Amino acid sequence: MSRAVQPGSAREAASRGRPVAASVSRSRNPGMPLDLHAVRSERVNRPAADARAATLTTRRSVKQAWQAGWLLRAVTLIDLTTLAGDDTPGRVLRLCGKARKPVREDILAALGVEGREVTAAAVCVYHGMVPTAREAMRGSGIPVAAVSTGFPAGLSPLRTRIIEIKESVAEGAEEVDVVITRGTVLAGDWERLYDEVAAFREACGDASAKVILGTGELGTLANVKRAAAVAMMAGADFVKTSTGKEPVNATLPVGVVLARAVRDYFRATGVRVGLKAAGGLKTAKDALAWLILVKEELGDAWLDPHLFRIGASSLLADIERQLEHHVTGRYSAFHRHPLG
């Protein structure tokens, strides 16, 4: 028999104060010296990680009003993203409009949370679109995140990548999603990876450094955990699964490994580092699985946009469809939930 997970209904979640907005303040991760012994000692039991991931949703269920509450929370954790080669200012403006109002007012009213501040966690765009997004988000309190450092491959010269970070911050990016050189992980060159991430972190200044590991290209789950450990030691504010451009992106076994790396770092240092899942999350069911993972592996404190993000675009439409189904009993077409 499945066990219901009950974080709260839509109305109850709203009554707790702002289920849809940041409620946990967090200082930056100061980092620490590279501990090579700890990094090289990291091990992952792959069958156990797979088994843990497989039971996250089969042993639990989230139903009815509880599901609506979880999905509203998921909306507030989304980095609403457009990273296409044919991005235009118009598309970015529509994205920003949707970030401000991600769920239709009539749906919010039917859920009993009308008037509550329901927004996306951030807007994530290419470096060249930062000024457009920044102007559109002015006064909203929603940060603009820029993908940088030769996204998605991360193979441009280090000096060039650092300049790109500084220019994104100068243009108004409050968060920067940086890409590591995956070859450093595959070669076990942890000193170089540490220096690279530390340089990115310094270049970010006051902007949050969200370090993309490209987990689908790291070969093993042990490499994923070691890379995450090094990134956090170097000062990463978030560790992020993927660019979304790899053949394999955010999988639940990877999520289990990253969550435990984050937990280990917190236990060792007292510093909470954020986790971002990106790439391949397209359905409300995907979002619920990741929320359950984070709740069970890291605790309620991480179910907050300061500490957990979902990088997505089409995911929002499916969540909005599920919320409409909850209040009407009918599934609507995707075109009823446009980007903007």
| Catalytic residue numbers, as ranges | 177, 240, 276
Joined together, the tokens standing for residue 259 give 């969550």
The letter for the amino acid at 133 is A
Q: Cα(13)–Cα(323) distance, rounded to whole angstroms? A: 15
Q: How far is CA 291 from CA 50, 83, 85, 234, in A?
A: 17, 24, 30, 27
Distance between alpha carbon 335 and the CA centroid of its chain, in Å? 25
Q: Which amino acid is at 247?
A: P
User: Residues 229, 257: contact at Cβ < 8 Å?
Assistant: no
Neighbours of 59 (CB within 10 A): 12
**Chain centroid to CA 133:** 19
Contacts of 307 (CB under 8 A, 6+ apart): 24, 26, 272, 273, 274, 275, 298, 301
Query: For every residue of 99-165, which 3-state class applies, written as one string?
Result: HHCCCCHHHHHHHCCCCCCCCCCEEEEEHHHHHHHHHHCCCCCCCEEEECCCCCCCCCCHHHHHHHH
Q: State how far the Cα of 178 lies from the Cα of 303, in Å rounded to an integer.
A: 23
Report the C-alpha gap between 179 and 158 in whole angstroms. 11
Question: Can you say how many angstroms the Cα of residue 4 is from the centroid of all Cα atoms in its chain?
Answer: 25
CA angle 59, 63, 66 (to 5 degrees): 115
Of 280, 230, 234, 272, nearest to 254 by C-alpha is: 280
Rg (CA), the chain: 19
